[in-house]
Structure 1
Amino acid sequence: MPEIKNVLVTAYIKPENQKKLEQALAPANVTFCVPYGPGAKEKITQAAKGKDVCILNGDLDDSILASEELKWVHCCRAGVEKSTKPEVFERGIILTSSSGRSAPALAEHALMFMLSLTYDLPMLTRAQKEHKWAVSREYSEKTGMYRKTVGVIGLGKTGSEVARLVKSFDMKVLAWDRRRKEAQNVDQVYGAENGDNLNELLAQCDYVVLSLELNDQTFHIIDAAQLAAMKKTAFLVNMGRGGLVNEPAMIEALKNGGIAGAGLDTFETEPLPSESPLWNLPNVIITPHITPQLPDKEERMLDYVYQNIKAYRENGTFVNRVTLRNMLTPQK
């Protein structure tokens, strides 16, 4: 049975959860370092020395990799594209994440975008500010989400939650995933590895929700050709990563009526630069890459850690293990 000896934890967790985590790791020596505040980075760099396991609040960096004893790193977050460094795989270090910890909230966030775009909340907000009764034939002829079609691009935990929620609107759900498979609340799954055509899916959708990880295969999965394949009345929602979309191509489509609008929580450059045209587009809703927390977010996050502690000690199957397939090559 592999032994866990020295552990560094930089995840900011409540004292009662620190105690539970120490018990789960026992008899290992556990060091907690708060990831924020004066001198935090230097303290973490020093504490990382000699550690064989690190449970991190954020991304894996060189200060953690400096430990020659390092065997396993768990990032207590969803997207870990910045942690997929070649050295991790060259050294055989196990890399896992807490992907899925906020899936229900992220799905709600996507639904908020869909409803807000459907009912043109930006226009209504402007009208309210101007004390204007926003009655027009154009607005009265809008249609709701009921029985429309949504394309869920990435059928992981968040994508599956999106599918579950939109079924309450009696919507048709198409999904794009690595392979074709049967999936609850989904009418049809298209598989990338089955040679299916993404544009064929996009052409059917009134809403396209991006909920997949960013890696070499998914970088700019929505490019000019995919935007051109979408309906001019369709809305794009990005709950994944900014790099999933060719941002200049999307801006062009939003300006020229290629698509009806977009709800964006992630961007290629974050924070979104003040000079970005996206700020001023009337058919765009922007949120700053943050979602309201679930009441038990911390416990959900740590549940993945506990499962993987067991997998580590018993040579079992890790949850959310990151492999070369998940790697993102730095873009020039």
Structure 2
Amino acid sequence: MNEIRKVVSTLWYDKDNYHTLRNVFPNAEFVYVDFYDKEKLEQEAKDADVALVLGDVPDCLLGENSLKWIACDHAGLNGSARPEVFAKNIFVTGAAGRSAPVLAEHCIYFMLQSCYHTKELLTAQEKGQWGVDGSDKWRGLYGRKVAILGMGNNGRMLADRLQALGMEIYAYDKYPVKGYDYISHKYCGLNGDTLDPILAECDFIVLTLALTDETYHMFDTEAFRKMKSNAVLINMARGGIVDTAALTQALEDGAIGGAGLDVIEEEPFPSDHPLWRMPNVYITPHMTPQVPNRAGRSIEIIRENARRFVAGEPMLNLLKPTDTFQSGNGNSGWARLTQSNLSKEEIAKIPLEKFLGKRGWTDPSEWNYLD
């Protein structure tokens, strides 16, 4: 049985959620450190058992300390899937699943945008134009074929919703897809299954899998050649899974029908890139709307993992050596901010609440007490 005597946290939570989190560890010392104060974080971690960190594992926690578990308040852990992190030989977990319901909605949003040709309809509306050329050939989602690549939290949540919409689902995962009897097409990478039959059959290809060395640029020129010419690619996973240059060329050549992108290799995405102006491409800036109290959902994952840690049971969302990612930059968006080594003076110039949300407290004593 493991013991948790000290917890150090850099999480950016409001007062109520921090109070709840503090009470997940009633028998431990609980220390808050600003995420940008890497020197203090390194010092406090020397005799800590658990670190709760904003974003990926910071380098300052990879030195000499007593940490046994690092919980990243972050869904995709590709930025932490580095050899030097695995060399620590400790538990590293993430927050995958906390936003799964709205990520599924976001996928469907992209799919409906494509089906209903939203850009064309809005242009017609602005003109006061009744009717759009070619609309008699548009098709909805019902009865069409969709591939979900990655049957983790997000993929499973999406499958339930697409099944209710009457779509024919093709599911692919590295590991066998268990349950989900309504899915008649299941593929498993470890069993030698390839994406070829999926790419040849499906009208929508939705990416909800992790970015690893295996999946980096999984969608390249060759993959786009295998897709149907009217198929739509939706990326809700990580930008590095798709070769941006190959995608751009495939769209320009008419090799595929369109794309919905919430993540792209380079974020922020350059404003002069041609993908922005393609009529069959819909882009959102890595910004799925939040579930009610997303921090609260993260805390429940931490709570369950704390129980499992003490009991010696398998941890949720555990980072594994097979998740290793060295093929590109694992950081994107605000993750670069949390990993930066900016001074306190430089940080003071950044409107943190704009990027990280309203915190509403200044002193940890406002929440750091036990019920």
TM-score normalized by structure 1?
A: 0.93
Segments of 5+ residues of structure 1 without an aligned counterpart are none
- Secondary structure of the corresponding residue to residue 83 of structure 1: coil
SS at match of 1:306: helix
Of 126-135 and 247-256, deviating more is 126-135
Aligned to 2:25: 25
Are 2:184 and 1:181 aligned? no
Does residue 216 in structure 1 map to residue 213 in structure 2? yes
Q: More deviation in 62-71 or 118-127?
A: 62-71
Question: Are 1:156 and 2:156 an aligned pair?
Answer: no
- The higher-RCO structure (CA 8 Å, 6+ apart) is 2
Identity %: 37
8 A contact 1:179–1:193 mirrored in 2 = yes
Deviation at 1:216, TM superposition (A): 1.1
Give the Cα separation in 2 of the matches to 1:292 and 1:166: 19
8 Å CA contact retained: 2:45, 2:67: no
Task: Report matched runs for 1:234-253 at 5 Å.
Answer: 234-253=231-250
2:292 and 2:22 mapped to 1: Cα distance? 22
Q: Deviations over 1:249-282 (max 9, x none)?
A: 1111111111111000001111111232211111
What is the one-letter code of the residue matched to 2:136? Answer: S
Q: Match for residue 316 of structure 1?
A: 313
- Offset of 1:45 from its aligned partner? 4.9
Specify the alignment match of 1:11 in structure 2: 11
Superposed CA offset, 1:204-246 (max 9, x none): 1011100001001111121212111111111110000001111
Distance 1:263 1:45 in 2: 40
1:198 to 1:125, Cα distance in 2 relative to 1, 3 A: same
Following superposition of structure 1 onto structure 2, how do residues 120-269 of structure 1 map, counting pairs within 5 Å?
A: 120-136=117-133, 138-184=134-180, 185-269=182-266
Q: Secondary structure of the equivalent of 2:79?
A: helix
Instruction: Out of 275-284 and 285-294, give the one that drifted further.
Output: 275-284
Matches within 5 A, 1:25-104: 25-35=25-35, 40=37, 44-45=41-42, 47-104=44-101
CA contact (8 A) 1:52 1:67 kept: no
Within 5 A, what are the aligned runs for 1:111-122?
111-122=108-119
Deviations 1:119-161 (A, max 9, x none): 111222233334433422x122211111000000001111111
Worse-matched range after superposition: 186-195 or 98-107:
186-195
Q: Please state whether the residue corresponding to 2:31 is helix, strand or coil.
A: strand
Change (3 A) 1:113 1:3: same
Moved more, 307-316 or 40-49: 40-49
Q: Which amino acid aligns with 1:178?
A: K
Conserved? CA contact 1:220–1:243, under 8 Å: yes
Measure the CA separation in 2 of the matches of 1:288 and 1:58.
18
Counterpart Cα distance in 2 of 1:276 and 1:52 = 46
C-alpha distance after superposition, 1:60-93 (max 9, x if no partner): 1112223522221011121011111212221212
Task: Give 1:47 shift.
Answer: 4.3
- Give the drift of 1:18: 2.0
**CA separation of 1:276 and 1:41: change in aligned 2, threshold 3 A:** farther
Relative to structure 1, the CA distance from residue 279 to residue 46 in structure 2 (aligned partners, 3 Å threshold; closer, same or farther) is farther
- Report if aligned partners of 2:124, 2:132 keep a CA contact under 8 Å in 1: no
Q: In the alignment, which residue of structure 1 is the partner of 2:334?
A: none
| Whole-Å separation in 1 of the counterparts to 2:92 and 2:175 | 23
Using the TM superposition, name which of 47-56 and 146-155 deviates more.
47-56
Q: Partners of 2:87 and 2:34 in 1: how far apart?
A: 29
Does structure 1 retain, via aligned residues, the 8 Å contact 2:70–2:91? Answer: yes
**Residues 254-263 or 40-49, more deviating:** 40-49
